Amino acid sequence: MWLYPVSSYLALAFLVLVVGLMAYFPDTRVALYVGPAFLVLLTVLFYVFKLQPTNVSQGAVRSAS
């Protein structure tokens, strides 16, 4: 990857900056509370209903490629 590992650290720093800016402004602060709660809800529902990926027949896989 180009500029490895500097590019990875720059991407992480940018994500931290975005989360910090979201926490700074009151209008976007709600997303910091609702977002993780929504992800936890989706994870719980996934395990409660034991959702599995659907099996695709081999013919459909060959025709798609």
Of 15, 37, 39, 9, residue with least CA distance to 23:
15
More confident position, 14 or 52: 14
Give pLDDT tens digits for 5-42: 999 999 999 999 999 999 999 999 999 999 999 999 99
The whole model's pTM is what?
0.61
Distance between CA atoms of 14 and 20, rounded to whole angstroms? 10
SS3 37: helix
Give the end-to-end CA distance of the chain in Å, rounded to a whole number.
27
Let me know: does 39 contact 30? Beta carbons within 8 Å.
no
Distance between CA atoms of 1 and 30, rounded to whole angstroms? 36
Domain boundaries, given as residue ranges, for the chain: 6-64
